[in-house]
Amino acid sequence: MYIFRYILPCVLFFHPGLWGRFMDLEDNTPFFFDRNNIKKSSYSEIGYERRNGYARDSDAPLSILEQY
């Protein structure tokens, strides 16, 4: 499960259903983009200015799953 590798445990405690904004369909892991539009597999690989204020995770799919 990708959450344990990319999200801080305190965030995981409050939001157990976080999904990455961009997900790789082959292996179900999140990926990120830096300013140069190169795909990065880890959040720590992107630049500092992209890490702040960037909505990289969402819990919006949970409401759809609950309705289903």
Place of tokens 């983009």: 33
6 pLDDT exceeds 70? no
Contact present, 45 and 32 (Cβ < 8 Å): yes
DSSP class per residue in 24-63: ETTTTEE-EE-TT--EESSGGGS-HHHHTT---EE-THHH
Q: Name the residue ranges covered by the structural domains of the chain.
A: 1-46
Confidence (pLDDT) at 40: 87
Contact present, 1 and 20 (Cβ < 8 Å): no
Q: For residue range 11-66, list pLDDT tens digits in order.
A: 433 455 677 778 888 888 888 888 888 888 887 888 877 777 666 677 777 777 77
Residue 25 to residue 31: CA distance in whole angstroms: 11
